[in-house]
Amino acid sequence: MSTQRLVKTFCDLVSTGSETGHERAFCIELEKALIEAGFEVERDEEAGKKCGSDGFNIYGYLPGDGESVLLSCHTDTVTPGAAVTPVERDGVIYSDGTTILGSDDKSGIAEIIEAVARLKENGEKNRPVEVLFSLSEEVGMLGSRYADYSKIKSKTALVLDGEDIGEIVNSAAANIVMSFRFFGKTAHAGICPENGIHALKAAAYAIANIPVGHVDEISVQNISNFISEGATNIVADKASFDMEFRSYDEDTVQKHIADALAVMKEACEKFGTTFEYDSERHSGAFTVDPESQFIKDIFAAYEAAGIRPYLSKTLGGCDASNIALHDIAVVNIGTGMRDVHTTAENISIKDMEDSTRFLCELLKA
């Protein structure tokens, strides 16, 4: 039966470990499975080098009729995941309790492979399907960041890396991380503290005057890693801390960054210090119009499979954020995974079956 084949494919996939940075053995097995399913497959070893992984990104293409769609999952898992033994109990698949399971994100891969197999054996025509299976998602979505998007022709994409079946994440936040460093002047804190310029005090003032948490209805920000090492009898001449800014709107996140920089300047003027900073964008904000034909098609496919779809948004990051940067309308959908990143991770066979039936409807020509 096709459900048994789905379960076997999933268990075979999770049984080959692919902890971040050590994905090569899994990539080789996945490459074979895709070729067997009828995909034209291409490796991207350069992406592996950029990610610091021994694996490679995989691009696949399945010919078909009509408009193509991109499906994407990541190939790496968190630790401990080097030697997974899947165990089925009461219609739910777990690990043996000593490792994670790896349904994040191998459930999505198994569901894609099974959907393609079912369409073929039922004699149904499929639309063209592109796949991007990317490395090192768990450490900053690196594989999708370094993917070669010139290989991808689709203008719509689904990332299969969520939990609930029917959830469609069509809006995600920009995420920018900044590191701030304050500089003052040392002096003996007991003999001549007036000769010093206190970098720690300036940084502390800035931290105390920058809001954290939900700073408006669509944004959050946080401060961490406040460091100023030194002896208690020395005025601190260096201090540093990190900040993270997230917002569903790019203009809003830039405003919050500008507000934080204004506080830094105020702190420096108050205490006589200087400061510098570095900035790294982890993801960009994206939103797919709920009234777009793309979203309507996804809703129709879920409903045809007997599943209630709904839209949601996330302040977290996923590969969809990187894909969206390349003029591709993209959403993130659920595969059924539960309790991910723990040794209690599990997935129900029913949820995998439901997700596969949805994909069959979506991929029909």
* CATH assignment at residue 203: 3.30.70.360
Q: Which amino acid is at 142?
A: L
Residues 11 and 103 in one domain: yes
For residue 78, the 8-state DSSP code is P
Backbone angles phi, psi at 111, to 5 degrees: -65, -35
Q: How many separate domains does the chain show?
A: 2
Residues 60 and 160 in one domain: yes
Residues 335 and 260 in one domain: no
Residues 128 and 241 in one domain: no
Query: In DSSP terms, which residues pair with 310 in a beta bridge?
Result: 167
pLDDT one digit per residue (tens) for the chain, 365 residues: 599 999 999 999 999 999 999 999 999 999 999 999 999 999 999 999 999 999 999 999 999 999 999 999 999 999 999 999 999 999 999 999 999 999 999 999 999 999 999 999 999 999 999 999 999 999 999 999 999 999 999 999 999 999 999 999 999 999 999 999 999 999 999 999 999 999 999 999 999 999 999 999 999 999 999 999 999 999 999 999 999 999 999 999 999 999 999 999 999 999 999 999 999 998 889 999 999 999 999 999 999 999 999 999 999 888 999 999 999 999 999 999 999 999 999 999 999 999 999 999 999 99
Distance, in Å, from the CA atom of 334 to the CA atom of 356, rounded to the nearest integer, reads 11
CA atoms within 13 A on the CB side of 125: 7
Contact assessment for residue 38 and residue 114, using Cβ atoms and an 8 Å cutoff: no
Residues 198 and 278 in one domain: yes
Distance, in Å, from the CA atom of 311 to the CA atom of 36, rounded to the nearest integer, reads 34
Q: Which of 145, 134, 168 is nearest to 307 (CA)?
A: 168
**What range defines the domain where residue 327 resides?**
2-172+285-363
Residue 237 preceded by cis peptide, ω within 30? no
Query: 């406040």: which residue's tokens?
Result: 226
Residues 83 and 114 in one domain: yes
What the block records as the tokens of 127 is 């639309």
> Which of 233, 250, 283 represents a domain boundary (last residue)?
283
Query: In DSSP terms, which residues pair with 275 in a beta bridge?
Result: 182
Contact assessment for residue 138 and residue 78, using Cβ atoms and an 8 Å cutoff: yes
For residue 139, the 8-state DSSP code is G
Q: Which of 2, 146, 155, 175 is nearest to 74 (CA)?
A: 146
Residues 68 and 167 in one domain: yes
Residues 225 and 341 in one domain: no
